[in-house]
Amino acid sequence: MNPAYVALESGHVLEGRARAPGTARGELVFTTAYTGYEESLTDPSYEEQILTFSYPLIGNYGVREDRFESDRIHPRAVLARELTDDVADWLASEGVPAVDHLDTRDVVTDVREGGAMKCGIAVGEDITPDDARAELEQCEAMSDHTEIGAQVSVDEPVVRGADNDGPTVALVDCGAKGSIVDSLLARNATVHVLPHDVSTADVEAVDPDVLFVSNGPGDPVNFEAAIDLVQAFVEDTPVAGICLGQQIVAEALGGVTEKMTFGHRGVNQPVLDLESGRVVMTTQNHGYTVAEPGDHLEVTQINVNDDTPEGLDGIEYDVLTRQYHPEANPGPEDTLDFFDDVLAMATPRRSPRAIPADD
């Protein structure tokens, strides 16, 4: 078996089993999800990151394309306690280095104590620890990836559900998961999937009933075009956002965002709705959060573990955002009604069609 080395910003160099060859660098993060590895690996929000699975066995139910959230794997490399051959072969086929036989408890502890950190990976024949260290030395901080949106966004507008007669949604694709679009289509919306840097004029041409800012990777302040769009449309058009989208909306309306120590990544994050007192379990994948909502937004939901904002509503504007992923995939579906609430903000002539609760 070929060697595999993982060099951490903390100074540690780990040795594991080679499962897919190559070299890589990125921000080391972990997910506590115990299922849904296909969805996680194809989530664009993991772009420029190295993903560690804290669950010990990854791949026990194979690999199926119908579970993918995009058309490719997004993490730069993958670490695990044990990967099955199905997953290892899939990673190798896409050129994504993978290492297992690691003590992922130690890796997770390092990240929790030291924060998400730079990491270098080297896997393959004649590889040495110095090769991993060389990757680490070239690793950039997430905030330095100023053009990350272009890596995960559509290049040209795409129209989905053109024959639907519900609201028209302009979805700003900053790295959108496929299931977000599917959730809107299931409610009879027509969805215009637009590039992350789409112009105001091109959005005006769509004449949307709702402007929707998607999830995605990286620092929200680097998505200047999306911030400008929210500012241009918020007075006249309802605005919604998920994950990075919530952060972008907050930045646009005078709020402040900040990097978290190690973020929220998993499928069991508890969220409290401040009005109803209801607690729901949510799927999350983010390393930044809203530190201050500003004067135009109010916090309506918080994370039970650390009180970070999980939901924002507009005070004088029609704005509705969530830090977690209501569409789940993977994870619980406690919050799918978010999409009904978003489409309900659309003009009355285009009210959303009710769908069965078990859809």
Return the active site residues: 243, 325, 327
Structural tokens at position 181: 């679009």
Residue 36 marked as a ligand binder: no
Please give the torsion angle defined by the CA atoms of residues 108, 112, 116 and 122, in that order, rounded to the nearest 10 degrees.
Answer: -30
Q: Taking CA 218 as the corner, what is the angle to CA 216 and CA 221, rounded to the nearest 5 degrees? A: 105
254 has binding-site annotation = no
Is 288 known to sit in a ligand binding site? Answer: yes
- Four-CA torsion 235, 307, 245, 147, nearest 10 degrees: 130
Bond from prior residue into 330 cis (ω within 30 degrees of 0): yes
Q: Is 178 annotated as a binding residue?
A: no
123: helix, strand or coil: strand
Task: Check: CB of residue 78 under 8 Å from CB of residue 37.
Answer: no
229 belongs to an annotated ligand binding site: no
Distance CA 277, CA 269 (A): 16
- What residue type is assigned to position 243 of the chain? C
Rounded Cα distance between 172 and 169, Å, is: 9
**Letter for the amino acid at 162?**
A
The answer to whether 55 is annotated as binding is no
**Structure token pair of residue 72:** 């490719």
Cβ distance 312 to 291 under 8 Å?
Answer: no
For residue 163, how many other CB atoms are within 10 A of its CB?
Answer: 6
Which parts are annotated binding residues for L-glutamine?
45, 216, 218, 244, 247, 285, 287-288
Which parts are annotated binding residues?
45, 216, 218, 244, 247, 285, 287-288
